[in-house]
Structure 1
């Protein structure tokens, strides 16, 4: 089995995220600062930079995983992280465009330990702010050429298709596991894969390196969604910034839920009956979570995430990365998949 040299003095996954955030933030603030005032206020609130009145705040701005993948991918192929900063900003803007819209569609009232933007500024305003972030992302990527623009455009379309499927699943009782996996590959895997692709292109990597890092990112993206779905049921609100059992209260057809519904177990059938109700009472949510676990959904998602991590690390190793950023990409992948829930 191919392995990556770990004797490189590389940083931990958490340290990489801090490094990436410090490198990214000035350029990200500059990109948002150029938006019209109304959209700038909403975007800055969403990023945690200020409150709803524009007063400085120190709220959580998220992990900035996608920019970290872009910056490290550029370094992994022998390029400079600084050259890839506009790419990192672009993928972070796209990610947050999707979050602003996602919160509206899911009617989520909390993100990153504070009220969601749409609950503060209104639905239409939050949607427009998200649209502005998407436009700015493509503007930043334009100097990297048509190939980079096509990579991001394809990823956004895949993300939107995944989100569309996710919404439709809430109205259907016959969603199977394969469909749910395809949805997650688009909704989450596409942008993580594109982050690695764009970083490797910015670093002028060989085509085989670009291809392998893309596959690393896509596999990591699907693993990330498995863990995110587990957090959506069992996550600590102090860590996730969302209410406990939030996905169950929305009757989301997440990966562990769909696996449980198709388990052929008594617990799975009882969960199916609960999900067919008009609304789930708050008192029913812990029982629904227990049914997902008893039906095997929790264990299945964790096993899938672990297997996807192994696959991601294989793709990374055979991409022939520069040792230190290669080791840091491996550490970042392990950090993502081993989040506590």
Structure 2
């Protein structure tokens, strides 16, 4: 066999061996890439994303798109070839597996956590939007969760409204722990509650619940010390004067809060917030309308621009990262609050874009 042919054959075999090794050898990395965007003013899965009843709504135009990031699953084993490709690809990011799934978190656990964050995000989005419009929203303290094998298991249930503890009115979740820990372990504590079934029925009718029960629970000693506990986590729930439902499947995490709020505001006001423009964005939101940072901002910018967005509402704390690599044709608009975002949309709608709050890489 001629030397040149032998060299080429050996090189080919070596390349094949390296490729096989690259496919077979697994590495502890995960990949993030641009995900789909969804217009909060439009439909998804054949039904409106935002569904408002028992209140007058107005026609909308344009886009207020929420953005997402795709991630590889917790159980996916990336090989070297995929990792190298991801590192070289401009729109994708390869990160250590533990960055997305810390402490050995399973895909099921991650999905559940994301679903809970998404649910809370929807609740806060509704509260912030209605308060922005001056529409009253009532708050109440509820049983958020009941620990397994705790004194409260079978007696209190998630969603029960806590009206009082030992006859003292409860005004905030922190009040529950303060009142319970006044007891010594082994002592009884009396909860005045509205059972979750009655609470939901009253909420559906947009009325205050009138049915209350008194339940007695024997406290036990906390695993972390000598204080008395009953084994529940208290939280905050809200009652709305009309129905606002957010219908969107297969999405998790809290980052769509801002765009949901803006969509609700747009539907409940006669003017068009977008003026027909294509606007996308991201950001968490709390009950008071404060916008918080999110992850994967670079990929969300890419996904938004590919979908056709011209403007991108960017949380203030993500601005520097976002401004370091802006897709051509996309204008970043810095926002700190829901009110900020609404004012910027009014300027975009009116064509007065020269004074929009911008993002800088510094």
Common fold, TM-score beyond 0.5? no
Larger Rg: 2
Per the normalisation by structure 2, the TM-score is 0.21
Query: What's the TM-score, normalizing by structure 1?
Result: 0.22
Structure number with higher helix proportion: 1
